[in-house]
Chain A
Amino acid sequence: MKAGLTMNRLDWQLSRNGLFWVLFSFVSVVALHLDHLPPWVVALAALCVLWRILEYRGAVPFPPWPLKAALVAGTMAVLAMEYRFLLRLDPMISMLIAGFGLKLLEMHHKRDAIVLVYLAYLAAALNCIFTQEIPDFLLVLLTFVITTTAMVSINQSKATGFSMGSSRTAVKMLATSLPIMLALFVVVPRLGAFWSIPVPKNQARTGVGDTLAPGGYSELVASDKVAFRVRFDGEIPDRNRLYWRGLVFSNYDGSEWTQASFYGPDRPVLEGGTDGSIVRFGQALDYTVTMEPSHRRWLFALSTPASNETGVRLIRDSRIVNSSRISVRRNFDVRSWLDYRLEPEGLHPHRAALERSLPPGFNPETLRVAQEWARETPGAEALINRVLELYNQSFVYTLEPPLLGTHAVDDFLWGSQRGFCEHFASSFVFFMRAAGHPARVLSGYLGGEVHPTENFITVRQYDAHAWAEVWIEGRGWVQVDPTAAVAPERIEMSLADLFGDDDGFLADSPLSLVRFRNFGLVNWFFLQQDYLDYAWGTWVLGYDRRQTDFLERLLGRVSTFRLGLLFLVAAGITFLPYLVARLIKRQRSKPDPRDALIRLFCERMARAGLPRNTGEGILDFARRIAAVQPQIAAEALAIANTYVAQRYGGLDSQPVDELRRLVRRFNPPKVKEPG
């Protein structure tokens, strides 16, 4: 098909420029993955780069093959020991990087370098599985620029020394690719996963956890990281209704609340949405939750959520969980009803016992008081009001509660009386159970910040909250927030407004912009950044779910013709700068009129039978004419001399008239064939 696939014969050795850019590309890829590489792999990579540089400088020999084989075998062995399962993402990255490094040692030919460049592209792209934040993606793009430069440099001539010029070509080409890339991104359909895939393991989990103990929220309150964002299709409900349910705790061991196994993530799944235990009525709310990677499975939604997303399951206690850990930012479409009844028909005896159970031997004072109050105040509602009244009278809502002893609830209720939301929720539920009412603790987030111009809410870690549910005969589970009794402003305001100056608030991020939001410019910047991050999540990371809508809005009607037109426009945008640049250049570099005159002169001589030879200087040509045709010697020499003097002798400011006159008058006679 092709004339000689003999390119490997051409200049197959790797140039110095190529070598350095490939090394540079490797280093940048390792830097990208620094977080998920074991230290020894990084050390091995550094060693390989160093060795290759010394090798290039002639200071060390190429590693002999037994050493290389030993290195490869050793690497594999250590990887196998470290990870046990090699077909996971982390070991694969380590393997890729280690293999890449070892391959550097024997990279001498263009062929090897090309393989390494492709590996670098692949390894850099894999970084997007681990993190998808904008700055990280910009770093990946930078690595792509470096790698493309490496690809250009290995195709440059060997004479080229280390040069930044290669990167100019690469940047130019990548910039030209952008419009086409965008068109492809917008148009190419996403097919959905073909098979199950390994996800990154051992990532730090963030957000509310699956246990709750007094003081457990102090870490969350110290962070201004985004937990999730929510875009509502309609009006955003009032702040005091935005209780984002995440977990439900029914087990208490005296110090910690945990989920009942019965409510574990897997078993009590409600297929088809309901079995009558959840009664929804009133207006439905549609919204999209954009979860940040929490590396946990539970999602956060308003009461009685329902979702059609694949892998999302509804659980009997009215919350949704994902089938796998959320390791990348993901969008979930959810529908909720704020008016509902939860298990109004009664609890299964086993459940009723579970939701009333208390660990024996803890908090005797609370048990005594609760039983006394239960006798004095029959009826759940009345008792709830009485307990909330107690909180309201003398309790303090604070970020820095004192430490509690073994009888944590006793110490809190009858001692310190200073606490954060988990103290209130935990003690409240304990009290209600002690009084004989089924009750449980809920954990999640409260509120969130409504963006002033865009229709979405940002919920940050410091919005973490705990509250309670009490089961009341005939009404089912009723939500109670004891924190509201002691600090009603917490429900109406964000924690940042409430505790902005407190030491415990944002303790981990002293320079967080949240602290300085009372400055107008900082606030503006903060909101812009928040919006950018939100748009990134919905328009880029979650584009597949909007693709159909967006294409229809963009093209009016999706047809092959219009899609083709879109690509044409993209290609047009791509090459527009070149056309413009070419036009400008053509205008600027007007040909010298003298060149045209000389061309005319040569044409006339050619017609006369004496063409100018290829590569023959104009003066040489004139001398040849003079030798062959003495009668026109003077004219020819005059033309040549004038031209050379004006064009090359620095006299080009002189008028062209003289040369024009000479050439116009020049009319050589036909040269007679010799013999």
Chain B
Amino acid sequence: MNLLYRTRKALRQRYRRWADRRTRPAAEFHLDRRRLYIFPSKAGFGFIALVVVLWLLATNYENNLIFMLCFLLLALFLVSIHFTHATLSGLSIKPVRAQSVFKGDAAAVELCISQARARRREQISLRFPGGESLMITLENAGDTFVTLLAPTQRRGYLDPGLLTIESVYPVGLLRVWGHSRFRFDAAVYPAPVKDHARTSNRKGSGEGHYAGSSGSEDYVGLKTYEVGESLRHVAWKQYAREQGLWSKQYGDAVETRIWVDWDDYTGLDTEQRLARMCWQVCECATAGGVFGLRLPGSELPPDRGVAHKQAALRRLALHGIGDESRVDDE
């Protein structure tokens, strides 16, 4: 039993590697004979056993009617190859968009599945490795948009892996499946790791102090509020007078800017450093402060706001990952 299980597991891994190699990322996958695989399901093997039992019965009873029924079921099995294959054949899958997430979170990936002609296709399951499967039923011609969750395991560009699209419809005797793989521009940020010791060590030293404890001593003036800025800095008085949304500027800009710096995290490996820097970026952004990001060979000038935070996270995500290391699409 154990041996069987292990053999099956090994075979499955082998298949997975082969399919991985075979399936190159593309902008659109058209499921056809070259892309679809078909094989009897467990129920299909049971059905074959039923056919064999009927054949034995027919032979032993020399009963031609049972022969006929036995052959009817065998023929049903054969034509169901066509019908099951047709459940997926002719579909196209395109990526629409994907969400950037922290490593370990599931990224929502939106896909567009389209068929040229109206045709009822039931019980199509879509799944990224390790993710939940989604069951859909197609009916009309045109596009159907689905959102799948793809678990993430590595920092960098989002690569949810091989998408498996499969179905056993209509009779469950065979399973037809295909794989596709897409490139996404979305990034997987490092999973933030809190490291108070280091951040508090640096407090007071260096160029600035921590934005979360930013003093409100020196009120400088008003500036148009930008989405993403801390609500604590909103000039509520002006807002109440219906003069618009302004945010208050404090102190010396140079004094309060913070550098999230690679060199602050010595003694750690790259991923550990990035994880801590990621946490710091999040903290800074939540506090609404101005921060910059320094990585070996690149620097993001200090700024604030959602777009800035995302730019910073994206730099962290893609640090050390060149465009060339993206899954190539030759």
Contacts and interface: CB of A to CB of B under 8 A. Distances in A.
A157 to B, nearest CB: 5
B179 to A, nearest CB: 8
Given A178-B75, A181-B68, A152 B60 contact: no
Contacts of A58: none
B125 A125 contact: no
A574 B112 CA distance: 34
Identify whether the interface residues of A are mostly helix, strand, loop, or mixed.
helix
A144 B47 CA distance: 14
B79 A176 contact: yes
A543 B66 CA distance: 12
A656 B112 CA distance: 30
A391 B166 CA distance: 86
Given A1-B15, A9-B133, A173 B80 contact: yes
Given A126-B57, A615-B143, A157 B122 contact: yes
A177 B43 contact: no
Given A2-B175, A7-B41, A129-B63, A122 B123 contact: no
Contacts of B137: 157, 159
B46 interface: yes
A178 B76 CA distance: 8
A409 B73 CA distance: 61
A84 interface: no
B92 to A, nearest CB: 10
A3 interface: yes
B65 to A, nearest CB: 4
B15 A3 contact: yes
B271 to A, nearest CB: 29
A197 B60 contact: yes
Contacts of A357: none
Given A154-B172, A575-B82, A615 B75 contact: no
A63 B15 CA distance: 44
A140 to B, nearest CB: 7
A328 B58 CA distance: 13
Identify whether the interface residues of B are mostly helix, strand, loop, or mixed.
helix
The size class of the interface chain A forms with chain B is 35 or more
A93 B172 CA distance: 27
A152 B135 contact: no
A584 to B, nearest CB: 13
A122 B58 CA distance: 11
Interface string A102-141: 0000000010001100100110111011001000010010
A615 B96 contact: yes
A137 B11 CA distance: 45
Nearest to B111: A614
Which has the most chain A C-beta neighbours within 10 Å: B68, B95, B112, B117? B68
Interface stretch (A182-190, A207-215, A336-344): A182-190
Contact of A118 (B47, B125, B133): B47
Contacts of A7: 41-42, 166, 168, 175
B172 A614 contact: no
B145 interface: yes
Nearest to B110: A615
Contacts of B11: 1-2
Given A114-B43, A614-B94, A151 B59 contact: no
Interface string B166-178: 1011111001010
B78 interface: yes
Contacts of A174: 72, 76
A125 B59 contact: no
Contact of B15 (A2, A10, A114, A121): A2
Interface string B22-52: 0000000000000000010111001100100
Given A3-B177, A152-B171, A328-B63, A10 B125 contact: yes
A675 interface: no
Contacts of A181: 68, 71-72, 74-75
Given A3-B12, A3-B177, A148 B76 contact: yes
A556 B122 CA distance: 46
B69 A125 contact: yes
A583 B79 CA distance: 20
Given A614-B96, A615-B112, A125 B66 contact: yes
26 contacts: A3-B12, A3-B164, A7-B41, A10-B133, A10-B135, A118-B50, A122-B53, A122-B54, A124-B69, A125-B54, A125-B57, A125-B66, A128-B69, A144-B72, A148-B171, A151-B172, A157-B137, A173-B83, A173-B170, A177-B78, A180-B74, A190-B59, A194-B60, A197-B60, A575-B82, A614-B95
Interface of A: 1-7, 9-11, 110, 114-115, 118, 121-122, 124-126, 128-129, 132, 137, 140, 144, 148, 151-152, 154-157, 159-160, 169, 173-174, 176-181, 184-185, 188, 190-195, 197, 328, 540-544, 574-575, 585, 589, 614-615
The 10 closest A-B pairs by CB, nearest first: A177-B75, A180-B75, A184-B71, A128-B65, A155-B172, A181-B75, A181-B71, A176-B79, A181-B72, A177-B76
